[in-house]
């Protein structure tokens, strides 16, 4: 066991996988940093410090620092994967998925299917997402709801360093395309990370708090928001069963429904705006499959139907927070 930040867990995982399998390669902007400049390579060590030192160890063929060309980056990852490699492509900000969406949506997601199951595209796309750093509308979005809806893709959101290591290991080894979402505000969060090699299977939610009055379903950055809300409510004798989905595609329906059948009340917490979001999707699934168990309508705590605002007060009003989650839990309990 070691205490480390999520970014360190990610870096260590990539390094370990690249050592283990010579087919693993990386592509992305400023993965190395400083290429073609007076400051020389590694002048910044990778923008999110998740690729520090990898180029020195593995060289230019396997660590490809790219121009600013999202379509080319993701498209190359796709082509390299079809040709037999296991590329890890980084999108510096998840919001840039708009620039290269065709390569993800029409290409990578569909290769295996439209080629009759005779190809595989084991690409892992790492996206840096989320609000909380006043990065403004075009650099703060959650994005994963849209990608969850696309058949052919798997969508993963680690919430702790330990989960980041296990889930990224699984992603790189998975022969299907994986979108791996790293929240920028979680990079610096420390946690215990087990030593050794382990992969966490997809579609396997993590139980974060154990309770019997209300179920809370969430993922990513919102997990810690829900933990704080649950701990505060526990002081009042209200116990919440908090589930971290970990992967929105595939979804651990069984864990969610088991919990809702026990509590009869559920709160979905999601950093995305509500329309066609993961929160709405899971709420509908619960209403469809566990209606008889529900004692109150599913409560949604989401961002509003707006872009992410810049100013501190606005962004803070935009995001779900522990008080908002607590209110939702109370609303679920108050329903009669």
Partner 1 sequence: MQLSRDQLLQAYRRMATIRAFEERLHDEIAKGEIAGFTHLYAGQEAAAVGICEHLADDDFIVSTHRGHGHCLAKGVDVKGMMQEIYGRATGTCKGKGGSMHIADVDKGMLGANGIVGAGAPQAVGAALSCKMDGQGKVAIAFSGDGACNQGTTFEAMNMAVVTKAPCIFVFENNHYSEHTGPAYATATSTDIAGRAEAFGMKAWRANGCDFFDTYDTMRELLDYVRAGNGPAAIELDTERFYGHFEGDPQRYRGEGELDRIRAERDCLLAFRKKVTEAKLLEDGDLDAVDAETSALIDAAVDEARTAPPPTPDMVLQDVYISY
Partner 2 sequence: MAALKPFAMPKWGIEMTEGTVAEWMVQEGAAYEKGALLTLIETDKITNEVEAESPGILVRIVAGAGETLPVGALLAVMADGPADATEIEAFLATFKPADALGSAGRDAPKPAAPEAKPVAAAPAASSIPADANISPAARKLAEERGVDVAGLAGSGKSGRISLQDVDQASRPAAAAAAIGGTPVSVAVDFAVLDGFYASPLAKRIAHQNGIDLAGVTGTGPRGRISKADVLAKVQPAANSNAPAGAAPRVVPMDKVRKVIARRLTEAKQSIPHFYLRAEAKVDALIEMRRQANLFLGGKASINDFLVRAVALALIEVPDCNVQVHGDAIHYFSTADVSVAMATDRGLVTPVVRGAERLAPHDIARASKALLAKAQAGRLSYEDMDGGSFTVSNLGMFGIDEFDAIINPPQGAILAVGTTRRVWGEQADGSGAFESRIAFTLSCDHRAIDGAVGARFLAALKALIEAPERLFPQG
Name the site residues for partner 2 (rule: CB under 8 A): 201, 203-211, 213, 230-231, 234-240, 242-243, 252-255, 258-259, 262, 297, 330, 333-336
Q: Which is nearer to partner 1, 61 or 288 (CB)?
A: 61
Cα–Cα distance for residue pair 332/275, rounded to 1 Å:
21
Maximal C-alpha separation, the chain: 68
Cα–Cα distance for residue pair 41/49, rounded to 1 Å:
14
Cα–Cα distance for residue pair 289/283, rounded to 1 Å:
10
Smallest gap from Cβ 222 to partner 2, in A, equals: 17
Cα–Cα distance for residue pair 173/302, rounded to 1 Å:
33
Residue 76 touches which of partner 2, partner 1, none (CB < 5 to 8 A by kind)?
partner 1
Smallest gap from Cβ 206 to partner 2, in A, equals: 8
Q: Which is nearer to partner 1, 81 or 168 (CB)?
A: 81
- DSSP code of 96? G
| Distinct helix (H) and strand (E) counts, the chain | 12, 14
- DSSP code of 41? T
Residue 207 touches which of partner 2, partner 1, none (CB < 5 to 8 A by kind)?
partner 2
139 is catalytic: yes
Residue 25 touches which of partner 1, partner 2, none (CB < 5 to 8 A by kind)?
partner 1
Place of tokens 């160890």: 57
Smallest gap from Cβ 82 to partner 2, in A, equals: 26
Q: Which is nearer to partner 1, 177 or 273 (CB)?
A: 177
Residue 210 touches which of partner 2, partner 1, none (CB < 5 to 8 A by kind)?
partner 2
Residue 72 touches which of partner 1, partner 2, none (CB < 5 to 8 A by kind)?
partner 1
Facing residues of 207 across strands? 243
Residue 310 touches which of partner 2, partner 1, none (CB < 5 to 8 A by kind)?
none
Q: Which is nearer to partner 2, 102 or 192 (CB)?
A: 192
Phi, psi of 262 (to 5 degrees): -80, -45
Is residue 51 within 8 Å of residue 31, measured between CB atoms? yes
Smallest gap from Cβ 247 to partner 2, in A, equals: 11
Q: Which is nearer to partner 2, 42 or 261 (CB)?
A: 261
Phi, psi of 224 (to 5 degrees): -70, -30
Any residues with CB less than 8 A from the CB of 109 and at least 6 apart, and which?
A: 150, 151, 152, 153, 177
Residue 251: CB atoms within 10 Å: 21
Interaction site with partner 1 (CB under 8 A): 25, 27, 60-62, 64, 66-67, 69, 71-85, 87, 102-103, 106-107, 110-120, 151-152, 154, 175-176, 203, 250
Q: Closest by alpha carbon to 129, among 117, 115, 116, 140?
A: 140
| Tokens coding 288 | 């469809």
> What is the C-alpha R_g of the chain?
20
Q: Which is nearer to partner 2, 119 or 306 (CB)?
A: 306
- The 10 Å CB-count burial string (b at 16+, else e) for 185-200 is bbbebebebeeeeebb
Name the catalytic one among 139, 183, 204, 305. 139
Query: What are the catalytic residues?
Result: 139
């Amino acid at each position: 066991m070691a205490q480390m930040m999520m970014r360190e867990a990610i870096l260590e995982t990539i390094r370990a996988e690249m050592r283990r399998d010579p087919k693993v390669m990386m592509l992305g902007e400023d993965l190395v940093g400083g290429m073609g400049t007076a400051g020389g390579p590694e002048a910044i060590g990778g923008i999110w410090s998740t690729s520090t030192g990898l180029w020195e160890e593995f060289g230019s063929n396997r660590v490809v620092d790219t121009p600013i060309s999202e379509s080319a980056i993701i498209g190359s990852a796709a082509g390299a994967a079809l040709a037999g490699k296991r590329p890890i492509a980084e999108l510096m900000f998840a919001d840039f998925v708009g620039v290269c969406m065709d390569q993800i949506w029409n290409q990578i997601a569909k290769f295996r299917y439209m080629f009759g199951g005779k190809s595989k595209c084991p690409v892992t796309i790492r996206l840096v997402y989320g609000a909380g750093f006043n990065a403004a509308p075009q650099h703060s979005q959650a994005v994963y709801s849209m990608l969850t809806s696309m058949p052919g893709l798997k969508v993963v959101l680690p919430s702790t360093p330990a989960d980041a290591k296990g889930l990224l290991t699984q992603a790189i080894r998975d022969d299907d395309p994986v979108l791996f979402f790293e929240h920028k505000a979680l990079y610096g969060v420390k946690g215990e990370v087990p030593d050794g090699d382990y992969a966490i299977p997809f579609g396997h939610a993590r139980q974060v708090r154990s309770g019997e009055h209300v179920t809370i379903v969430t993922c990513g950055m919102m997990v810690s928001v829900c933990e704080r809300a649950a701990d505060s409510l526990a002081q009042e004798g209200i116990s919440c069963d908090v589930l971290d989905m970990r992967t929105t595609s595939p979804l651990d329906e069984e864990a969610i429904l088991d919990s809702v059948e026990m509590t009869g009340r559920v709160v979905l917490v999601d950093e995305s705006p509500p329309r066609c979001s993961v929160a709405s999707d899971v709420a509908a699934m619960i209403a469809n499959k566990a209606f008889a168990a529900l004692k109150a309508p599913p409560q949604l705590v989401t961002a509003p139907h707006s872009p992410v605002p810049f100013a501190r007060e606005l962004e803070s009003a935009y995001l779900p927070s522990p008080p908002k989650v607590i209110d939702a839990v109370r609303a679920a309990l108050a329903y009669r």
